[in-house]
Structure 1
């Protein structure tokens, strides 16, 4: 070995002894020891791990032997283990519990990580070794070795490894600037959302809300400085669930406008300058790679493959959806006019309110009728976990001895049907100012046979926690969100792959949402539903007549939900089908959004996008650029999978085992369309059942 490398490694080893330890020997599976890790530990630990990763890559490049799978592809796969461990935990906290110290650390760490990624992605000597292995060995390799080689090679090519020096240098600049902008976005959007609190002076203004909801408004006001006695907190989507019950129309308007304009410059915050610059840089990046726009670049390695297929899929849905949406809006407005007079004009902030009253009149049902039966603790343990037990044989035991980063969290040991330890699962359900909006799944550690690592998986949601001593009651939509995110968790926990790069949810964007969307189907299966839908106080099951009405109501006026998703999807695609010189200015961006929706036939003030451009975190802060369509695409896959489960027996262990072995355990070790075919027997997804499943 080169003596300089040896000295560097010795220095690094000595420095590492002085650094904090992430896990403790007494915790299972390398679980992070949050009782010992200090917020100030992350920066030095990550800096050290970056140096270690850099040295490991240098060793691969310096190796004078002929490049092989073992000394190149496998060596790259095994590098950076310490960095992975620290980043998995750090990135979890910066999303779910971003304190000022962690936010400052993130600002320092992000450019270091981008620099490292650029160094590796554009290391010509390293890529030549990878290309040599791909050209000479790929056809001889088998199984995961072959798949890993393909994935690594193509990732380097897509990153720009084949570019000339000038274009490569520009690509590095673009990557660095995008990471800086996404860091700014990650700071600005939560601040904008927290800054859009609607302050309320009197309890009377909250007429229509339950006592529990009013208590939550009081609690939210107190936690934010008590400017007034009550506060309504804005959540991440455009429409706000609280509008369903607010009698005060002007307060409904204020809440809706606070949501819609949280980050568009009409208030304190404006994300459009970030949006415009990211869009331009992505378009330029695609052009450097030889694509006409970023959407073409992004879609190449998805199931959909190209924009034509995506737009063909969407236009079919839009054509079928539009008349149903128009009829739904007219029905709600006609109902409202019966109560408010013939000259009443329905506004978007009225829609949820009168739709709920219409549902109450037609079905004699409201959210407050059913929420007492949806205690979050029962939904998780007796619903989400019970379904996983019935379908996959999994068993869950709470571990109160494992430290967490927040006292609201719970940790569960997950054991397989044969009693073997399978995973750890962390649940972080309640909202707080340090947590970004939305719901998600990720991992403190991914499953890997090569690393001898069992998965450590977590789910994060943003539910309002009930006052101390009271059960937290949730809506049906929130129930299905728990099942949805746990579908992602199952994809991570049931992974059985050798390589970390290929394991768990490391699949195409328009496949990764399928297991989660499919898992929602178990929420309404009678045996599962009856097991968790029990009164929070009495423990009695939901009465049969109420259950029948509730299940019927699931598909009541569902055109809205499809429409808001379609509108957001088309906004995402519109931005990413532009060349760099076509990107509008920040001042023009709001009008661009309107024009884009009009062009595709989705401009409807009654059905705004689920996420408007200025707070579309999936696209500007996350990994869904030109990929938000995948929620609808994978819903089709999920419908097809649910039909197969129904045909084979939804709760039969044999059915769950087949899905587990053919899909959930496979990660990215196989083409996802082939996995889909293996389980369903279908060569291609069938979209015809989507509107049926949505009750349309």
Structure 2
């Protein structure tokens, strides 16, 4: 690829001069991205060519380290670009992403299918095997992982197979981009407009105000717009008393992508078929086997075993919960059948009657800024000695983004944390963490990380009041942020969250426990108007109800994970060809897995399952429950050792968070726990002890 010069005025022409290398979003414009990406790819290929043609005997420095140092311009522009395209997209960025995706796939193929590079890696491996070369543990792991990446990319295939592989990779990356764009458009288009305020009976005033703001912003003055979040279940269903509106909202949610202008079904079928073909080309029976082999699960059979083991007990719990909710429903409507749009509302009613506490009462005590400072940050200070200071002189990629400098226990600067919590039309659904700069001592780069959520934005001057689920989501995503911020590795490819997909959720899930820690909860759960702490009896009730609804939560999650596996255990010929068959396939898959229970639909239906068709979780949505085995076992370790103590945080940081992907992840767990993980703590947490006998 010919390397065209990059205009010196382009913000990516040189590393950012801002603190910690924060991308200079004050200067970055859409037109800067494409030339910088093209230049970055050309520069990277030139650097790799030097490595591949080096006449010297392969060494760590001229091969592994040289590869780690290569492509820095491309890395700088891509992290800024993909962060913005996911969190503040425009039609121009969408078009650019679709155009760039196949070119990037071809760029990576050109590197990973380069037999000359692979020969150098093989030569290094032979030196290690013969005893002629001794490597530091992180370098040995880097060599192992880099060789594996090349093999899994197809470097050992013949020329004809490699040509087909290049075609498949280009098509898959393009289609994944298309799917994500269409899901966002479908989600925005499916927002439910309410014109009669009486229908909003039960919705808290702050939520109504946010809905009114959304309606006004979309040109519906005088109305209320109920915007959809990515999962099937919508948070408004908890409080809305009008059953017809609840049904309307639920049907809008599950109908996304099923036909119309933003029909995602043709795209998802192509993705399933092409990924299946690629897996077979690489020697695997299906895509699920390809994914699991390089994760901690190691096999699709191991994934099927744990999901199949948990599903019967989870569904049994959900059915028992449904009986109780049906009683409550029929008090309002004798003879009525419990439907999916009734579940959240009556679950909250039953819980509030049993616990004398409901979601509406909690919200005034859960103000976003206080949860952030006195909850999320406070726990990080107690565990790791970190402190935080907002940097109003630094800006993010959108005016809603807040930038915080993070200081280590000795007061030295550790990195930057960007918080982007409010929803908007330009942001994809869900919650996630991104790196803008990967920590690396080799490159002398500290970390810059981003957390994104999708919380409705209130009118100016009004507080953002959270649900309890949103509180735990904040803690969860900050667990990912800590994985990035506390990384202490040499090589950038091993930084922080650069671990297998079924391990990456583990530290973030551990961090959720601090939302429930009494001393932390009492610090952030303060009434936003009166300053009064949440009543002690309420705190006790909240803690006592942690297992409430576990049947529902586990079943909806497992249904989604099993659906993901069903799509990706198909051969190319088994993937349906008619978009109208998507729903039938989904229904059969859920029935076959034993999780077809109409009142509890999957957390994501196929047509808007962004995780597995657009993001990096294809055949990997099982990762959350797989990681939770490690998480629940680690929570027991914290409890055994006194809970929220600096000594515990320092050990978790040193033995696990700080090591990122520089070690076999399960070895990092063993170093912390002193043994292999055990499933029993998970079964107890989720009320699935019946699964222990399965």
TM-score range, shorter chain: over 0.9
- 2:518 paired residue number: 526
- 1:481 paired residue number: 473
SS at match of 1:588: helix
How has the CA–CA distance of structure 1 residues 423 and 17 changed in structure 2, closer, same or farther, with 3 Å as cutoff?
same
Deviation at 1:68, TM superposition (A): 2.4
Moved more, 14-23 or 433-442: 14-23
Deviation at 1:501, TM superposition (A): 0.7
CA offsets, 1:406-463, max 9 Å, x none? 1111111111111111111000000000000000001110100101000001100000
User: How many aligned residue pairs are there?
Assistant: 684
SS at match of 2:320: helix
Deviation at 1:118, TM superposition (A): 1.6
Q: TM-score normalised to the size of structure 1?
A: 0.96
Deviation at 1:551, TM superposition (A): 2.2
- 2:26 paired residue number: 35
In the alignment, which of 591, 599, 615 is matched to residue 592 of structure 2? 599
Q: Distance in 2 between matches of 1:68 and 1:36?
A: 40
- 1:679 paired residue number: 672
Q: Distance in 2 between matches of 1:580 and 1:573?
A: 14
In the alignment, which of 332, 340, 346 is matched to residue 339 of structure 1? 332
SS at match of 1:389: helix
- 1:102 paired residue number: 93
Q: Distance in 2 between matches of 1:370 and 1:516?
A: 24
Q: Does 1:443 align with 2:429?
A: no
Alignment map for 1:649-668 (pairs within 5 Å) = 649-668=642-661
- 2:147 paired residue number: 153
Q: TM-score normalised to the size of structure 2?
A: 0.96
Q: Distance in 1 between matches of 2:8 and 2:192?
A: 50
- 1:226 paired residue number: 220
Q: Does 1:375 align with 2:367?
A: yes
How has the CA–CA distance of structure 1 residues 135 and 240 changed in structure 2, closer, same or farther, with 3 Å as cutoff?
same
Deviation at 1:89, TM superposition (A): 0.9
CA offsets, 1:504-523, max 9 Å, x none? 10111111100000000011
- 1:509 paired residue number: 501
- 2:254 paired residue number: 260
How has the CA–CA distance of structure 1 residues 49 and 25 changed in structure 2, closer, same or farther, with 3 Å as cutoff?
closer
Alignment map for 1:413-562 (pairs within 5 Å) = 413-562=405-554
CA offsets, 1:146-198, max 9 Å, x none? 11111111100000000011111111110000011011112111001001011
CA RMSD of aligned residues (A): 1.6
Q: Distance in 1 between matches of 2:272 and 2:73?
A: 33
Q: Distance in 2 between matches of 1:91 and 1:23?
A: 19
Q: Distance in 1 between matches of 2:12 and 2:281?
A: 42
- 1:86 paired residue number: 77
Does the CA contact (< 8 Å) of 1:40 and 1:101 recur in 2?
no
In the alignment, which of 182, 192, 195 is matched to residue 186 of structure 2? 192
CA offsets, 1:527-552, max 9 Å, x none? 11111111111222111112222222
Moved more, 173-182 or 226-235: 226-235
Does the CA contact (< 8 Å) of 1:487 and 1:519 recur in 2?
yes
Moved more, 61-70 or 415-424: 61-70
In the alignment, which of 622, 632, 635 is matched to residue 629 of structure 1? 622
Deviation at 1:101, TM superposition (A): 2.5
Deviation at 1:335, TM superposition (A): 1.8
Q: Distance in 2 between matches of 1:197 and 1:320?
A: 35
How has the CA–CA distance of structure 1 residues 184 and 227 changed in structure 2, closer, same or farther, with 3 Å as cutoff?
farther
Does the CA contact (< 8 Å) of 2:296 and 2:500 recur in 1?
yes
In the alignment, which of 241, 244, 247 is matched to residue 250 of structure 1? 244
Moved more, 29-38 or 235-244: 29-38
SS at match of 2:174: helix
CA offsets, 1:616-636, max 9 Å, x none? 111001111111111011111
How has the CA–CA distance of structure 1 residues 674 and 627 changed in structure 2, closer, same or farther, with 3 Å as cutoff?
same
In the alignment, which of 38, 42, 65 is matched to residue 74 of structure 1? 65
Moved more, 473-482 or 530-539: 530-539
SS at match of 1:174: helix
Q: Does 1:589 align with 2:575?
A: no
Does the CA contact (< 8 Å) of 2:562 and 2:590 recur in 1?
yes
CA offsets, 1:658-689, max 9 Å, x none? 11100000011111111111111222x22222
Q: Does 1:324 align with 2:296?
A: no
How has the CA–CA distance of structure 1 residues 23 and 48 changed in structure 2, closer, same or farther, with 3 Å as cutoff?
closer
SS at match of 1:234: coil
SS at match of 1:513: helix
In the alignment, which of 161, 179, 183 is matched to residue 177 of structure 2? 183
- 2:281 paired residue number: 288
Alignment map for 1:297-316 (pairs within 5 Å) = 297-316=290-309
How has the CA–CA distance of structure 1 residues 223 and 18 changed in structure 2, closer, same or farther, with 3 Å as cutoff?
closer
Does the CA contact (< 8 Å) of 1:23 and 1:31 recur in 2?
no
- 2:167 paired residue number: 173
Deviation at 1:323, TM superposition (A): 1.9
Q: Does 1:162 align with 2:153?
A: no
SS at match of 1:428: strand
Q: Distance in 2 between matches of 1:324 and 1:457?
A: 38
SS at match of 1:534: coil
Does the CA contact (< 8 Å) of 2:404 and 2:416 recur in 1?
yes
SS at match of 1:427: strand
Q: Distance in 1 between matches of 2:632 and 2:446?
A: 30
Does the CA contact (< 8 Å) of 2:435 and 2:447 recur in 1?
yes
SS at match of 1:487: helix
SS at match of 1:323: helix
SS at match of 1:482: helix
In the alignment, which of 88, 106, 110 is matched to residue 115 of structure 1? 106
